[in-house]
Structure 1
Amino acid sequence: MQQLPSPQVLTDVLPSVIFELGQRFVDSGFELSLVGGPVRDLFLGRVSPDLDFTTSASPDETLAAVKGWADATWEVGRDFGTIALRKGEHTIEVTTYRADAYDPSSRKPIVAFGEKLEDDLYRRDFTMNAMALRLPGLELVDPYNGAIDLSVGEVRTPGTPSMSFSDDPLRMMRAARFASQLGIDVADEVRTAMTEMADRIKIISAERVRDELVKLINGIDPRAGIDLLVETGLADIVLPEVSALRLEIDEHHRHKDVYQHSLTVLEQAMQLESDADGPVPSPDFVLRFAALMHDIGKPATRKFEPSGAVSFRHHDVVGAKQVKARMRALRFDNDTTKAVARLVELHMRFYGYGDAGWSDSAVRRYVHDAGDLLQRLHRLTRSDVTTRNKKKADRLSFAYDDLETRIGEISEQEEMAAVRPDLNGQQIMELLDIKPGPVVGRAYNFLLERRLDNGPIDADEAVSALREWWAQQPESDQQ
């Protein structure tokens, strides 16, 4: 970990609005400090886009101090001591020193304003976020040794972990998130408190848990964060399907450790993400979460065969349903939920190709079914190979190389990513002289299936095929 840069360097790298604002508060007779994540990030060699400040001024005094300087102010967080403002391109939050208490049945604080910066820092989640820079002189205030904890790579709390997590149980999720984002560990006492108090996460809203989970999955080391959730029991509550992957290994070791396999698939999927200009820019939550969840249907479908082998038939379909249910419980949006579930459902499709090869029709269906998820499906399928048998791994890799080559060749001949029937719904209704309804949908699906099987045909052939199909439908006799 880097040390805090010198005041001269900080003056050069930090936005000038920080110093302008600090001087205004000092001139008004108040203290102002840059606090929390922005200070932590300076130790990590980066400048945070967030600008959070804490002050001895009350909300009214803050408004008076920035009057005529800020371009705009907002008082939505006034009851919690926070005044938001905009200066140029910067959005800034200034919060009065706090010394909050919490209702044990809720994560909402009972707001009490404090008088000292050190007291305000004590109420923060972790020591690495309980550092401040007094302005405008840039004096570091670090009463709880956050810089030391950051340098040794440990997450600690300013007070006792049990008190911190009792006050705000979401901090347990944040601990796992920071383990992932920063590639660091949590102190033993923090891990113990998380284990003992995991059940308190139930009072946190699903939306807040979801937001922390997304940040964890998108971190540089999500395996560390997920392991922490599983080991402490938090995953039993917020992501129980992942905890359930720790299947009991049968005595003959005839199936993989599904949990460790899933974490390896996640890591391998991350390595296949593209840069910002590529098809799957890193970090890609949909790909990563699908990689983690792709085998969650296995515990429910595990079967010991008479031969002693272990099977997981249809775990892909079962898993897709489980993913939908879990993501809906966590209040994910519909598009993200559908995308992850679809990848889980399709992740086994390739193995039929690897075993016997596919017709052009099957290749078309693979592309059609994947739709705009095709690039992610390529990466998920390749990541799912974790065997130590090099010959088997090479065979699967070669087979998928061949499949991608064939997709490319057929795509050159057809617009496979947007395969549609050769006639649209309006043309179907006009040709058959029918009104909108289920029959149109059936005709459309017939033409789509024909298109996938045989490739594109000209308009006359499509009309002829449609009329032939229509002659066999019971509705045709009613006209």
Structure 2
Amino acid sequence: MMQLLTSSTLDPVVLELGQRFVDAGFELSLVGGPVRDLFLGRQSPDLDFTSNARPDEILAVIKGWADAVWEIGRAFGTIGLRKAGFIIEVTTYRAESYDPDSRKPEVNFGHSLETDLRRRDFTMNAMALRLPSMELVDPYGGIKDLHAGVLRTPDRAEDSFSDDPLRMMRAARFVAQLGVALHPEVEGAMIEMAERIKIISAERVRDELTKTICAPQARLGVDVLVNVGLADYVLPEVSALRLEVDEHHRHKDVYQHSLQVLEQAAALETGPEGAVPGPDFVLRFAALMHDVGKPATRRFEPSGGVSFRHHDVVGAKLTAKRMKELRFDNDTIKAVSRLVELHMRFYGYGEAGWSDSAVRRYVTDAGPLLERLHRLTRSDVTTRNQRKAERLAFAYDDLEHRVAELAEREELASIRPDLDGAQIMSLLGIAPGPLVGQAYKYLLNERMEEGPLGEAEAERRLRLWWAEHRPSAADEESTKASDER
């Protein structure tokens, strides 16, 4: 249900700013997403305004009133400011034109609010509230479309997407954020023009994709990207999950499975104080990408079955490659690809059981991603076989119990050998070098296999290891001579 707007709906800061512009002889309107969100009963953290005042005139109106001012967008007619905790942008009416081969608009200042609204992406974002009168300006039927849950463009969809192809990505994001449906004309234009997304920078595509993945109904947004063909250019690995129809039904629909895993992973996120506060991009994107290695590893076996051997390793590499092309930061790339690589590690636990050593390695390999791995692994169960689902859930409950049990006795989150590098060098009388690393690795493996040993036992075992691995005098002389050369 949409909310009725009154002056009490807005913070006094908004009305005060509107009055300042009117008193100075200018128009000011709240515009775009903040207006849409008001009707949806949501609070927008950032406020966008438009005015017939030019940048110098905007600066004059807010002088002495704003807590802080910045002019980084001045060339595009935008002045930013902060007031009473609000981040505010005021932009001069614009009437932009575009070079068909470039996203960068030629900025021309406009003279009317209606013309300014016409250049905006979708009708539900092309509404304005004149201030301080609270008059709604909705020349393109944004309220009607918002009520109907339909995403439509103010102008011809083809022209809108030609001007700014990123709007197609934004359409998928609004589907995911608001649960709206694409108008047939919008969907048709996206299908026809999907290839134009190639002229948009990877960074801007990445930002829209991230917002889509972190939206309340991410599954719907991803499905739009795939169905209209945008994913062929943005996330081709996800498009490739739509394996050709298998008339014998020897494998499940990997694409739909991946969307379901994404949905289930998001449902397992926690509140702000929990282990994985949502929305968590790393968990969600790993859930979407966890099976992208399957198309490249699919094999039809003589028995009639289908196998995807090592699809976890292949998928991790494909995921990292795609994220690098989208200009994600290294930490995020490593976290997502590592989860993809580890998502199959659990399988087999229920049948064979694991030693304490295997549990330690599972926790150590996951490192800080353990809580996310718990959720990804649980989300990866989409079978309709209730008995199988219950068996897997029981097995993972047991594994988590084992992890917690061991954690009470040992510091699983930071397993280290009982002797550090300095102690190893002192005990063996050696200088820094490969031998120290080999000794450290040996002690770490012993620690993994048997748990804490204590310094005395670790020292005893290290001496035994050294007796077998200590270089001969001839080897030491050879190494010394090589170093001197």
Return the match for 1:250 from 230, 237, 246: 246
* Mapping for residues 320-331 of structure 1, pairs under 5 Å: 320-331=316-327
- Residue 29 of structure 1 corresponds to 25
- SS in structure 2 at match of 1:115: coil
Rounded to whole Å, the distance in 2 between the matches of 1:476 and 1:30 is 89
Residue 6 of structure 1, CA deviation? 3.4
The residue aligned with 1:114 is 110
CA distance in 1, matches of 2:232, 2:200: 15
Of residues 364, 370, 377 in structure 2, which corresponds to 1:368?
364
How far is 1:472 from its partner?
2.4
Q: Which residue of 1 aligns with 2:426?
A: 430
What one-letter code is carried by the residue in structure 1 that aligns with 2:18? G
Deviations 1:214-236 (A, max 9, x none): 11011111111111100111000
The equivalent residue for 1:42 is 38
Give 1:110 deviation, angstroms: 0.3
Deviation string for 1:356-385 (max 9, x for gaps)? 111111111111111111111111111111
Cα distance in 1 between the residues matched to 2:217 and 2:255: 16
Question: 1:40, CA displacement in angstroms?
Answer: 0.5
- Secondary structure, aligned partner of 2:273: coil
1:281 alignment counterpart: 277
2:207 counterpart of 1:211? yes
SS in structure 2 at match of 1:246:
coil
Q: Does structure 2 conserve the Cα–Cα contact (< 8 Å) formed by 1:14 and 1:47?
A: no
Q: Does the CA-based 8 Å contact 1:235-1:243 persist in structure 2? A: yes
CA distance in 2, matches of 1:114, 1:362: 67
Structure 1 counterpart of 2:412, from 403, 412, 416: 416
Structure 1, residues 156-210: CA drift from partner, whole Å, max 9, x if none?
A: 1110111000000000000000000111111111011111100000011111111
Contact 1:13/1:47 (CA < 8 Å) preserved in 2? no
User: Aligned-pair distance for 1:433?
Assistant: 2.5
Give the CA deviation at 1:247: 0.7
SS at match of 2:144: helix
Residue identity opposite 1:123 in structure 2 = R
1:378 to 369, 374, 380: 374
C-alpha spacing 1:58/1:394, structure 2 compared with 1 (3 Å) = same
Name the counterpart of 2:5.
Answer: 6
Instruction: In structure 2, list runs of 5 or more residues that go unmatched.
Output: 478-485
The answer on whether the counterparts of 1:132 and 1:142 sit within 8 Å (CA) in structure 2 is: yes
After TM superposition, the structure 1 stretch with the greater mean CA deviation from structure 2, 34-43 or 457-466, is 457-466
1:308-331 Cα shifts (integer Å, max 9, x gaps): 211000000110111110111111
| Aligned twin of 1:356 | 352
Partner of 2:393: 397
SS of alignment partner, residue 91 of structure 2: strand
- Structure 1: gaps (5+ residues): none
Separation in 2 of the partners of 1:290 and 1:280? Answer: 14
Write the distance in 2 (CA, Å) between the matches of 1:437 and 1:123: 65
1:229 to 225, 240, 243: 225
Q: 1:243 offset after TM fit, Å?
A: 0.2
Are 1:262 and 2:258 an aligned pair?
yes
Q: Distance in 2 between matches of 1:47 and 1:306?
A: 59
Aligned to 1:332: 328
Deviations 1:230-270 (A, max 9, x none): 01110000000000000113231110010001111111111
* 1:119-172 deviations in Å (ceiling 9; x for gaps): 000001111110100011111101011111111111111101110000000000
Could you tell me which residue of structure 1 aligns to residue 176 of structure 2? 180
2: CA distance, partners of 1:318 / 1:152: 43
Q: Is the 8 A contact 2:5 2:39 kept in 1?
A: no
* Aligned counterparts of 1:438 and 1:97: Cα–Cα separation in 2: 67
Q: Could you tell me which residue of structure 1 aligns to residue 197 of structure 2?
A: 201
| Residue 456 (structure 2) pairs with residue 457 (structure 1) | no
Q: Report the residue type matching 1:286 in the other structure.
A: V
The answer to whether the 8 Å contact 1:263/1:292 transfers is yes
2: CA distance between counterparts of 1:391 and 1:422? 44
Amino acid in structure 2 at the alignment position of 1:471: A
What is the DSSP-based 3-state SS (H/G/I as helix, E as strand, rest coil) of the residue aligned with 2:241? coil
Q: Is the alpha carbon distance of 1:12 and 1:439 closer, same or farther for their aligned partners in structure 2, counting shifts above 3 Å? A: farther
Query: Structure 2: which amino acid aligns with 1:87?
Result: K
- Following TM superposition, by how much is the alpha carbon of 1:354 offset from its aligned partner in structure 2, in angstroms? 1.8
Confirm or deny that 1:345 pairs with 2:344.
no
Q: Secondary structure at the match of 1:420?
A: coil
How far, CA to CA, are the matches of 2:468 and 2:80 in structure 1?
68
Q: CA deviation at 1:15?
A: 2.1
Asked if residue 192 in structure 1 is aligned to residue 150 in structure 2, the reply is no
Distance 1:449 1:68 in 2: 66
* Aligned position for 2:63: 67
Q: Partner letter of residue 422 of structure 2?
A: Q
Which residue identity is paired with 1:6?
L
Distance 2:229 2:58 in 1: 43
Paired residue type of 1:170: L
Q: CA deviation at 1:441?
A: 2.1
Which stretch of structure 1 is more off in the superposition, 347-356 or 197-206?
347-356
**Deviation for aligned residue 1:455:** 0.4
Equivalence map 1:85-164=2 (5 Å)? 85-164=81-160
**Cα distance in structure 1, aligned partners of 2:331 and 2:188:** 37
The residue aligned with 2:483 is none
Is 2:70–2:81's contact at 8 Å kept on the other side of the alignment? yes
- Displacement of 1:467 after TM fit? 2.1
4+ runs of 1 displaced by more than 3 Å? Answer: 474-477
The equivalent of 2:441 in structure 1 is 445
Equivalenced residues, count: 475
* Matched residue type, 2:150: E
Q: Give distance in 2, aligned partners of 1:149 and 1:439.
A: 70
Q: Distance in 1 between matches of 2:425 and 2:451?
A: 23
What amino acid is the match of 1:80?
F
**Amino acid in the other structure paired with 1:278:** G
**2:308 counterpart of 1:312:** yes
Q: Are the aligned partners of 2:360 and 2:412 in contact in 1 as well (CA < 8 Å)?
A: yes
Counterpart contact for 2:45–2:87, Cα < 8 Å = no
Which shows bigger deviation, 427-436 or 279-288? 427-436
CA distance in 2, matches of 1:358, 1:6: 60
Identity value in percent: 70
Cα displacement (A) at 1:476: 6.1
Q: Please give the alpha-carbon distance, in whole angstroms, between the structure 2 residues aligned to 1:77 and 1:308.
A: 62
TM-score, length-scaled by structure 2: 0.96
Q: Contact 1:165–1:197 at 8 Å: present in 2 too? A: yes
Matched residues in 2 for 1:68 and 1:407: separation? 59
